[in-house]
Amino acid sequence: MKFLIILPSTQRGGVEEYSLRIASSAIKKGWDVHVAFPNTEGTTSLIQDFTSKGVQYHSLEIADSGNTTLIQHLVNLSKTIFLLLHIKPNVVQIVLPGIDTCFGSILACGFLRVPTLVRFGLVVNRYSFSAKKLKAYTWARSRNQQWITVSENNRSLVCESFQIEREQVLCIYNGFSLKPDLYTNNQEENVSLRYQILEELGLSTTNKLLLTVARLHEQKGYIFLIHTIPYIAKEFPEVRFVWVGEGEQKEYLLSKVQEYGVEDKVLFLGYRSDIPNLLKSADFFVFPTLYEGHPNALLEAMAYGLQIITSDASSIPETIKHKVHGLLFRTGDSCNLLENIRWALKHPKEMKEMSHNAKLHIINDFSEDKMMKETFKILHKLSERAQKKNHDYPINSSL
């Protein structure tokens, strides 16, 4: 099976990590896997990771947005057609970071009737398309395409935006890979690891670590968390906020932390390759995001048994039930976030029970194995359907 993954990515994030996982699973199945996306400074490490896994990389300069001109859409369509005719894949997956990207590539797959799975990652709100563009999308979708989303919240927004029936779009939640060490709880090893992390960070064994793993971007709601820190610091002086991630808001957030006089309470760690060790060492996972598709960072924190405090944004209530798997606060409400952090710090027994429930929830409902099975089932079905109608599938014909 020859499999092509198309991305419009110019930098690395959750969508790209998902694509790596899909490609790795396909390689394990013995598939001939190809990936195509722009070659930029922000995708250099991504290219290296794909090729190291045995995936063939192709440069495809198709980065666009809702402001892309008709000419650029046509150029992207042409580039994608050329690539498809060169690779001749049996099936394609287009992985979208937003609702209004990769229009040219979606049309190209429709034009050649290539079996295509289109996955919508992050959909913030309902999008307004022109009548002509809606018609073009409908035409492409009717030609051997299946569209999927990562949450029911996204599914509703996609259906509303494209004016299609709910049953025409499927939902496959993100899944987390449960490594063997997550099934065991070696208390001695965990304590030793925590001591190492605390020593590295210059902290004492009495400190409580409230970890956040996310890009330093407005979307992630760090500013609302900053508003709570002076109050938490006064009432719980042992608490330290540990932030892992890079992003365009770094200097702004550093200045706000200094303005609030809490720079000794917040540790900016930047990019880290040892996130599992940090998750094992932290006490809480705080996630003040404003909107999400279906956040992998939250799933990972749940799988590692962290005590969760998160906003109720987008699809998160589909994953976390308040005071069952963790605490939900009102999105963008610093006061409500403060109340929930206080409650969590004062109720360790209840929070431990919730963290246990959250871990079981990941094992039973949000495993990577389940996500892969559902995804590859659709890919197989699309490919088989095309083989039965080979005369309608010119990409593997004499063309």
Tens digits of residue pLDDT in 291-350: 999 999 999 999 999 999 999 999 999 999 999 999 999 999 999 999 999 999 999 999
* Cβ partners under 8 Å of residue 167, min gap 6: none
Q: Do 332 and 349 belong together in one domain?
A: yes
Q: Do 188 and 125 belong together in one domain?
A: no
β-sheet bridge partners, residue 240: 209
Contact 150, 294 (CB under 8 A): yes
Q: Do 358 and 253 belong together in one domain?
A: yes
- Spatial separation of the C-alpha atoms in residues 329 and 317, rounded to whole Å: 10
Tens digits of residue pLDDT in 248-303: 999 999 999 999 999 999 999 998 989 999 999 999 999 999 999 999 999 999 99
The CATH number for 360's domain is 3.40.50.2000
The range of the structural domain enclosing residue 229 comes to 180-365
Q: Do 26 and 117 belong together in one domain?
A: yes
Tens digits of residue pLDDT in 343-395: 999 999 999 999 999 999 999 999 999 999 999 999 999 998 877 766 455 55
Tens digits of residue pLDDT in 86-125: 999 999 999 998 898 999 999 999 999 999 999 999 899 9
Q: Within its chain, how far is the Cα of 308 from the centroid?
A: 18
Q: Do 275 and 295 belong together in one domain?
A: yes
pTM: 0.87
Check whether 127 has a pLDDT greater than 50: yes
Q: How many domains does the chain have?
A: 2
Q: Which two tokens stand for residue 388?
A: 């039965």
Q: Which two tokens stand for residue 68?
A: 């892309």
Q: Do 39 and 159 belong together in one domain?
A: yes
User: For the purposes of burial, counting CB atoms within 10 Å of the CB of 193, is it exposed (0-12), middle (13-18) or buried (19 or more)?
Assistant: middle
Q: Within its chain, how far is the Cα of 361 from the centroid?
A: 18
Q: Which helix (H) or strand (E) holds 117?
A: strand 116-120
Alpha helices, DSSP H only, in the chain? 14-28, 44-52, 70-87, 103-111, 131-141, 152-162, 187-201, 222-235, 250-259, 275-281, 296-303, 316-319, 334-346, 348-365, 368-388
Nearest to 4 by CA among 83, 96, 120: 83
